[in-house]
């Protein structure tokens, strides 16, 4: 799961869905806070899951909580100022200590990109994907940050293949090829589909299934408005944009 962005309803929906589908391990690709109105609940929940064996990575919004040099858009900056005032010392410490990358067997998990730390480049096209796959030799790389699902692969002819995953359809990621899976966002989808997005990886079958989970967007938007955050942050959730 990537880019939860303090969206409690979306995270709850995804956690329920993943549990029902028998997920055995959770990996969170960062950006727990920012934009949304539930940073405290979200960070607290993730801390609890990490204590039970889940993995979590640092995202640029998580970094911005303590790193004032982190550059954000105007709206994100407004939300970040508010978020800083909400989070307690435990949450701040948890976020400050998150790792930039996690390696697990042949898999590499990152928030944004693989080339350099803390530059948070977007892997949003073929060229960026090709550069990212050249930068590291991991067989399968998983990232978020873009908020739009995509799969990139290198075929037997050394060519890059780009693909838009379809919700609920398992896509083979055979171990003899290299893959880069860009997850959609749990808490702020931007691909025109407002449903929360996450993915299930079946390491035995070597398949990834992207999933879309509907959640109570109205409740989330109402909280954003009530917190006095920019209206556009509430509005964009309904449009998935």
Partner 1 sequence: MGKRRIRPGDTVDGYVIGKLIHSGGMATIWEVSHPDLDMPMLMKAPVLNEGADPAAIVGFEMEQMILPRLVGPHIPKFIAAGDFMVQPYIVMEQVPGEPLLKCLKRLPLPYDEVAALGAKVAVALDSLHSQHVVHLDVKPSNIMIRPTGEAVLIDYGLSHHDELPDLMAEQFRLPYGTAPYMAPEQVMGHRSDPRSDQFALGVLMYFFATGTRPFGDPQRLSGLKRRLWWDPPPPRALRPDFPHWFQEIILRCLEVNPAWRYPTGAQLAFELMNPDQVKLTGRSKRLNRDSFTTVLKRRFSEDPTAPSRIGTVASFGTNAPIIAVAIDLTEISGPLAVALRVTVAQILASLPGARVACLNVLKQGVITIDTTLDDEGRNKHVQRLVELKHWAEPLNLEEGRVSFHVLEAPHAATAILRYARANFVDHIVMGARASSARRTLLGSVSGEVATHAPCTVTVVRTRRYQRTEYGEGPNERSEDSWTVG
> Which parts of this chain interact with partner 1 (CB under 8 A)?
151, 153, 155-157, 159-163, 166, 169, 171-172, 174-176
Quote the CA–CA distance of 145 and 232 in Å, as a whole number.
19
End-to-end Cα spacing for the chain: 18
Closest separation in Å from C-beta 107 to partner 1: 17
d(CA 231, CA 46): 27
**Helix, strand or coil for residue 43?**
helix
> In whole angstroms, how close is the CB of 77 to partner 1 at the nearest point?
37
Q: How far is the CB of 197 from partner 1 (least distance, A)?
A: 16
Q: What token pair was written down for 29?
A: 């690709």
- Residue among 94 and 210 whose Cβ is closer to partner 1: 210
Nearer to partner 1, 129 or 221 (CB): 129
Q: Which is nearer to partner 1, 51 or 156 (CB)?
A: 156
What lies within 8 Å, CB to CB, of 70 at 6+ separation is 60, 63, 64
Q: How far is the CB of 122 from partner 1 (least distance, A)?
A: 21
Helices 39-51 and 74-86, packing angle to 10 deg: 70
Which residue reads 């449009």 in tokens? 239
Q: Which one, 59 or 153, has the nearer CB to partner 1?
A: 153
């Amino acid at each position: 799961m990537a880019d939860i962005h303090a969206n409690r309803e979306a995270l709850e929906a995804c956690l329920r869905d993943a549990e029902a589908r028998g997920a055995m391990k959770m990996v969170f690709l960062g950006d727990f806070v920012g934009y949304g109105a539930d940073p405290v609940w979200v960070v607290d929940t993730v801390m609890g899951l990490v204590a039970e064996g889940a993995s979590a990575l640092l995202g640029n919004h998580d970094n911005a909580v303590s790193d004032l040099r982190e550059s954000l858009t105007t709206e994100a900056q407004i939300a970040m100022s508010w978020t800083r005032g909400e989070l307690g010392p435990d949450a701040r410490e948890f976020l400050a200590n998150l790792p930039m990358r996690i390696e697990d067997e042949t898999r590499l998990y990152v928030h944004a990109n693989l080339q350099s730390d803390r530059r948070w480049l977007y892997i949003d096209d073929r060229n960026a994907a090709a550069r990212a796959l050249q930068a590291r030799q991991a067989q399968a790389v998983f990232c978020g940050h873009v908020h739009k699902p995509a799969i990139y692969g290198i075929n037997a002819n050394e060519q890059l293949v780009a693909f838009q995953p379809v919700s609920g359809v398992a896509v083979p990621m055979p171990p003899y090829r290299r893959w880069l899976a860009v997850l959609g966002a749990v808490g702020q989808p931007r691909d025109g589909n407002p449903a929360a997005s996450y993915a299930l990886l079946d390491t035995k079958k070597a398949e990834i299934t992207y999933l879309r989970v509907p959640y109570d967007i109205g409740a989330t938007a109402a909280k954003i408005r009530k917190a006095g955050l920019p209206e556009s942050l509430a509005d964009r959730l309904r449009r998935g944009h």
